[in-house]
Structure 1
Amino acid sequence: MGRRDRTSEESDDGGGTTPEDSFGRLTNTTRLEILRTLATGDTPLDYTDLFERVSVTDSGQFNYHLRQLVDEYVDKAERGYALTQSGRQAANLLATNSLQGGTSRQFRRIDSRCGGCGSAAVEIGYREGEGIVRCPDCDRQLARFDFPPAAATAYSLEEFVDAFARRTRAYFGLADDGICPFCAHSLSFEIRPSAATRPDDVPAVGTCTECPAGIRAPIGLLLSTRARILSAFADVGVNLRETPFWELDWCTLDAPEIRRTDPLAVELDVEIAGQSTRVVVDSEAEILEFDR
């Protein structure tokens, strides 16, 4: 019996909670404050400690809103109150400020070089929930990907650059392993020339079986997370995990070439220690050839 079948049976027996009900329990500032308090304090907290740490002064109102959270988001035990797993996830979402729009960070020059033109004028900024790396000299966008608003504004410039590069690579690595980095359901990639935003682009498009998250990636970026590629660079003393991916032209900018269409095979030249190495992948971005 599959996951969907089990979920359906549990719901029929009355054991499940609908997403609408779950979100509905969080539509109050007092309840959100209770979650934040339990997330940041030493838990479990007894009733008096919890009441004193939130701003509401009416005990009746506090009791009502606390009851709405108990069981699903808050665990009530003999020692006091603590977050459930769902409560921790809700508190984590609040900590990211992901539901709060309008967060931005001005573009600033960083200590990095453009993988396309070699310019040192590379900049990073933040808009609409995404970190953006661009090169003003060649007018190219080198990277753009999801990043939590709270962290984007809390980090220093250097910390933001490092966190954005590492997190983006980690997300694509997880996606390349077949796990959606947003909901953890199954995700698969397909080389889809029709999804190109540039005439010479041949992107890999990741589709999740459950959530609406869609990941569009340069083939080179996916390859940069693969063990065979990482090992080849390590053999010449280069740790790809420590190298911002936008500094590598083959990783984000170089256009793959379609070797054949039926079945689809795409090739990309990867520069390793100054030498061009050809990598060929199939329609699902699996490596067919690696001349190394």
Structure 2
Amino acid sequence: MTDDPGASGSDGSDGGQVVERKAAEEAFELLSNDTRLGILKALFQTDDPRTFSELREAVGMRDSGQFNYHLDKLLGTFVRVTEEGYELTTAGTRVVGAILAGEFTKTFEGDPVPVDGECQLCGAQLAGSFEGNRIRIACEDCERDVISLNMLPGALEPYPREEWPLVAERWTRRELEMVRAGFCPTCRGPVDSEMTVDQSDLVDLFEAVVTYTCRRCTMEMSANAATSVVPHPAVVGFLHDHGVDVEGTPLWKLEWAVSPTGRVVSSDPVRVEIPIDADGDRLVLVLDEYASVIDERREEDRGAPNQS
């Protein structure tokens, strides 16, 4: 990943550029009215543009003048008008999505949920706890975290409570895939990845930890080096050859992914090896200082099986 502030015409040259149409405070002030939120929800509920009359009827406001006033406030930022009628902009769609997800209004509460899995370090039972907007899958004995991150409460709401840990695990994978692709899950800004081998709270457990940091909002996410390569095609293919469905197996049941598997073979330049064993065969990935896979090799017929 490169940092080139002059790329894509951001200096006002040949290419396009992103401009700020409205201050954030002004944009959020537009939403401080029930009628305006009702307009956004009404447009969200249909795939087709709505005429003025259809939209006013859907919102349930009789006063045409008042309705037009509130609708006009949303135009350009959250609503656009076409020849067919009114429809949501991308920003309008995201606002309604955030409301439905409970991003501003909902929270987790309740007792821990048992997890069908054991701690790969001490063998004790895992449990899922959900408090505020935070999810945590951890060992009940040594209290080591397997998963710990923020999650939108609305993402769990449709599921029975006993399924929450598995839903949270799928959410974690999507977050990891997003930062690996270079996008911040919080603000969608650019994310840099760095392999840390000597200065992390997690280094007490793991030799190598990947830290993902957003350049815009400074969001930071960490994962041990082995967890970071779970979705890598070489890993998926290798384990598929040995009957393991990586996508369908919870992280806490992929022993190599949540154990101190990664080993630092060089600190200058940083090189970390991730060995993955299955049925006597081994896949070894080599990661650089940016947590990119720069080499991979298979070692076959190593002896006793040690799958996933």
Q: Please say whether Structure 1 and Structure 2 have the same fold, judged by a TM-score greater than 0.5.
A: yes
Q: Give the alignment's TM-score, normalised by structure 1.
A: 0.84
Structure 1 unaligned segments of length 5 or more: list them. none
Alignment of 1:181-196 (within 5 A): 181-192=185-196, 193-196=198-201
1:145 counterpart (143, 149, 153): 149
CA shift for structure 1 position 176: 1.8
Residues 204 and 219 of structure 1 are in contact (CA less than 8 Å); yes or no, is this contact kept in structure 2? Answer: yes
Counterpart in 2 of 1:262?
268
Counterpart code for 1:24: E
**Runs (4+) off by over 6 Å:** 7-10
Residues 200 and 255 of structure 1 are in contact (CA less than 8 Å); yes or no, is this contact kept in structure 2? Answer: no
- Say if 1:248 and 1:138 are closer, same or farther in 2 by CA, change over 3 A: farther
Equivalents in 2 of 1:54, 1:106: separation in Å? 39
- Say if 1:290 and 1:76 are closer, same or farther in 2 by CA, change over 3 A: closer
**Aligned residues, how many?**
288
Equivalents in 2 of 1:5, 1:18: separation in Å? 21
Q: Deviations along 1:165-220, whole A, 9 cap, x unmatched?
A: 22321221232233334444432210123123452333111122333322211111
2:97 counterpart (92, 111, 123): 92
Equivalents in 1 of 2:209, 2:42: separation in Å? 44
Counterpart code for 2:239: F
Using CA pairs below 8 Å that are at least 6 residues apart, which structure has the higher relative contact order? Answer: 1
Counterpart in 1 of 2:230?
224
Counterpart in 2 of 1:76?
81
Alignment of 1:225-240 (within 5 A): 225-240=231-246
Partner-residue secondary structure (3-state), 2:77:
coil
Whether 1:284 and 2:263 are equivalent positions in the alignment is no
Residues 105 and 152 of structure 1 are in contact (CA less than 8 Å); yes or no, is this contact kept in structure 2? Answer: no
Equivalents in 1 of 2:130, 2:114: separation in Å? 13
CA shift for structure 1 position 152: 2.0
Counterpart in 2 of 1:28?
33
Residues 196 and 203 of structure 1 are in contact (CA less than 8 Å); yes or no, is this contact kept in structure 2? Answer: no
Counterpart code for 1:237: G
Q: Give the alignment's TM-score, normalised by structure 2.
A: 0.80
Structure 2 unaligned segments of length 5 or more: list them. 1-5, 299-308
Name which of structure 1's ranges 54-63 and 24-33 shifts more when overlaid on structure 2: 54-63
CA shift for structure 1 position 69: 0.5
Whether 1:180 and 2:184 are equivalent positions in the alignment is yes
- Say if 1:141 and 1:55 are closer, same or farther in 2 by CA, change over 3 A: farther
Partner-residue secondary structure (3-state), 1:241:
coil
Partner-residue secondary structure (3-state), 1:145:
strand
Residues 226 and 274 of structure 2 are in contact (CA less than 8 Å); yes or no, is this contact kept in structure 1? Answer: yes
Residues 116 and 249 of structure 1 are in contact (CA less than 8 Å); yes or no, is this contact kept in structure 2? Answer: no
- Say if 1:159 and 1:57 are closer, same or farther in 2 by CA, change over 3 A: farther
Residues 31 and 37 of structure 2 are in contact (CA less than 8 Å); yes or no, is this contact kept in structure 1? Answer: yes
Partner-residue secondary structure (3-state), 2:168:
helix
1:273 counterpart (254, 276, 279): 279
- What is the root-mean-square deviation of aligned Cα atoms in Å? 2.9
Counterpart in 2 of 1:213?
219
Name which of structure 1's ranges 36-45 and 240-249 shifts more when overlaid on structure 2: 36-45
Counterpart in 2 of 1:122?
126
Equivalents in 2 of 1:115, 1:55: separation in Å? 56
1:253 counterpart (224, 238, 259): 259
2:57 counterpart (49, 52, 58): 52
Partner-residue secondary structure (3-state), 2:112:
strand
Q: Deviations along 1:257-281, whole A, 9 cap, x unmatched?
A: 3323221222344333366654432
Counterpart code for 1:244: P
Give the share of equivalent positions with the same residue, in percent. 26
